């Protein structure tokens, strides 16, 4: 976790630090990348960097839940579960640690991007804006962990499918605008519903819906893990 935190914060700080160059027009980004010709270049750049780094945290969530699968197949889980620890407690505690760690990493994304941008642009108000923009996307990380947990509980041999979901989300987010894909296709990705602050206005409903889905999937995963036979 410490390595993830250091890397995420450092990368976010660097990306945010490039905000001054964007604001001065030293770097010319395509309109599609920042969100359209009407979007302020600095806002568009900072929002897309925030989205990019949150995807990195989604990868962390998958790797973290994947650790439970490794413990199972290696036989370490059996040793733990033959003691007083129950399956629900073991998986639930591990998922809670993943969730808290994921939210903490998202906060580091916002903090790093905000500090870098505020310093390079000379606008301290960017720090709370970008911290809030990152935290608004935390449910995307939680949903990723929840989906991974559900697969772990009910279809462990298909666990790799969660990687496909994340990669699918990355492709739609970054390549669909250039390819002119329809909005209804973009809506099939769970990572395209939270507004891109500060380019778009914040919205509570998508954040709340993703959070509820994440909790439901995690609970489903814990239940499924408690019902099935262990591998290894």
Residue 187 has pLDDT above 80, yes or no: yes
Spell out the residues 6+ positions from residue 92 whose beta carbon is closer than 8 angstroms to its own.
222
Question: Cβ of 129: how many Cβ atoms within 10 Å?
Answer: 20
Q: Answer yes or no: are the C-beta atoms of 153 and 225 closer than 8 Å.
A: yes
85-112 pLDDT, tens digit per residue, is: 678 888 999 999 999 999 999 999 999 9
- Give the chain's mean pLDDT: 88
**pTM higher than 0.85, yes or no?**
yes
- Residue 114 backbone phi and psi in degrees, to 5: -65, -45
**What pLDDT band is residue 27 in, cutting at 50, 70 and 90?**
low
Question: Taking the mean position of all CA atoms in its chain, how far away is CA 59?
Answer: 7
CA distance 46 to 127: 11
CA distance 149 to 165: 14
Per-residue model confidence (pLDDT) at position 38: 42
Q: Answer yes or no: are the C-beta atoms of 80 and 232 closer than 8 Å.
A: no
Domain limits, the chain: 2-227
Q: Answer yes or no: are the C-beta atoms of 133 and 50 closer than 8 Å.
A: yes
Label residue 202 exposed, middle or buried (CB < 10 Å: 0-12, 13-18, 19+): middle
């Amino acid at each position: 976790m410490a390595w993830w935190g250091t890397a995420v914060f450092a990368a976010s700080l660097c990306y945010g630090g490039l905000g001054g160059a964007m604001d001065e027009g030293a770097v010319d980004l395509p309109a599609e990348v920042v969100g359209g010709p009407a979007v302020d270049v600095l806002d568009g750049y900072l929002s897309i960097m925030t989205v990019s780094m949150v995807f990195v945290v989604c990868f962390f969530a998958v790797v973290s839940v994947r650790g439970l699968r490794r413990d199972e197949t290696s036989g370490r889980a059996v040793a733990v579960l033959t003691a007083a620890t129950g399956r629900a407690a073991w998986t639930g505690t591990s998922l809670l640690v993943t969730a808290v760690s994921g939210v903490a990493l998202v906060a580091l994304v916002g903090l790093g991007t905000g500090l870098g941008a505020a310093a390079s642009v000379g606008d301290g108000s960017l720090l709370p804006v970008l911290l809030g923009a990152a935290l608004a996307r935390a449910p995307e990380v939680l949903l990723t962990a929840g989906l991974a947990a559900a697969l772990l509980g009910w279809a462990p041999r298909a666990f790799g499918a969660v990687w496909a979901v994340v990669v699918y989300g990355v492709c739609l987010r970054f390549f669909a605008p250039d390819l002119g894909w329809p909005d209804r296709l973009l809506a099939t990705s769970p990572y395209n519903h939270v507004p891109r602050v500060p380019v778009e206005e914040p919205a509570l409903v998508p954040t709340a819906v993703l959070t509820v889905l994440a909790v439901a999937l995690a609970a489903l995963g814990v239940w499924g893990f408690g019902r099935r036979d262990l591998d290894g």
